[in-house]
Amino acid sequence: MSTSAPVHPGRTVVARRPPTRSLAMFALALGGFGIGTTEFVAMGLLPEMASGLGITEPTAGHVISAYALGVVVGAPLIAALAARVPRKSLLIALMAAFTVGNAATVLAPNYGLMVVSRFVAGLPHGAYFGVAALVAAHLAERGQRARAVGLVMMGLAVANVAGVPLASWLGQNLGWRSAFALAASIGLVTIGAIWRWVPALGGMHVTNPLTELGALRRTQVWMTLITGMIGFGGMFAVYTYISTTLTGVSGLPLSFVPLALMIFGVGMIAGNLIGGLLADRALIPGLFVSMTALGVTLGAFAIASHNPYTALVLVFCVGAAGMSMVPGLQTRLMDVAADAQTLAASLNHAALNIANAFGAWIGGVVIAAGYGYTAPAAVGALLAVGGLTVLAAAVVMERRRGVGAAR
């Protein structure tokens, strides 16, 4: 087929070829890379931020809570209110809000405005991942929805390997504000990439706010969200205290902690790929496999963390098992939400942020109770079992309802 068409005698123009699926997926993942970078880098720069703003480090920790609150508030609010907005336009608007929030962080002159800027930066987080997951599934080849969703989440995993270390290095050497300037720059590049490479998506179904809010009336949506809140919390119970665990229990020098975090990030990348493959082959069995693997690896980490070599191996395994749940949970929400997929898919990331806060809290509780830094892994294994229990109950409820409807 010719790529040119005559528009004037003797003149031709070259028709613009549609972007390839891989470039569109890359653009979507790039947004996840920026979001992952800004979310996790703040944890490593708290001392520098506290010093620069003239506040204590515990007070500086509130900026992380402000971001998480933005995610929880923004996910359902934006997904519902923007239900009628074309998906490509919405993605660009969400990344614009992300960029503005991070730019405001760079310019924030005091603690109060810093908290506000982090809240604003967190608002588009859940909605972006939810909409990007739906777009990826729409663009995916037949039978590869979960793998496409996993590729979008890959940006979040790669951020832990490349984005966060780079931003941390910038923050430590050029001032903490430079880390958020990097995140804002990634946001700008993502806007251009989405505009250029993501197709118009005219065939994607848009709804309305009332339809989207209908997701909150669906029992299976809530059961899936609770599964993620509880099960995924186990991974964060370990990740939050990984630095002290590796230095105080495993005996690794502090200089090895960044390497361990990169190993964890590589595990997350592997988990994304494995989880997407499992979910495409058999969604519910795949979720059971992922959550069982997380429980086993967390339990093993409680023992293996006493040796530096086995500790590093289990760090990889925990990252892989934990992240392998995400494509399946996201796809499951899209399936059970019916015509309210945008809100349900966005709520997944609000739920995972709640898991982050819950896991960190319960891990801190057992440490403060005197059980040591291996205790969060043991508690995390129990949380994974709890997530499995909720998932099993959801499957039983769904099957009973299906049998009842058939009668």
Q: What is the DSSP string of 115-175?
A: HHHHHHHHHHHHHHHHHHHHHHHHHSPTT-HHHHHHHHHHHHHHIIIIIHHHHHHHHHHH-
CATH number of 19-206: 1.20.1250.20
Q: Tell me the pLDDT of the chain averaged across its residues.
A: 86
Beta 11-14 vs 4-8: how paired, if at all? antiparallel
Predicted structure pTM score: 0.79
Q: In CATH terms, is domain 207-407 a member of 3.40.50.720?
A: no
pLDDT at 351 over 70: yes
Summarised one tens digit per residue, pLDDT across range 166-210 is: 888 898 889 999 999 999 999 999 999 999 999 987 767 677 777
- Say if residue 5's pLDDT is above 80: no
50-84 pLDDT per residue, tens = 889 898 877 887 888 788 889 888 988 888 888 88
Positions of CATH 1.20.1250.20 in the chain: 19-206, 207-407
Q: In whole angstroms, what is the distance from residue 231 CA to residue 142 CA? A: 29
Percentage of residues in the chain having pLDDT higher than 90? 44
Q: In this structure, which long-range contacts are made by residues 46-49, counting pairs with CB atoms below 8 Å and at least 24 apart in sequence?
A: 48/171, 48/172, 48/175, 48/176, 49/114, 49/176
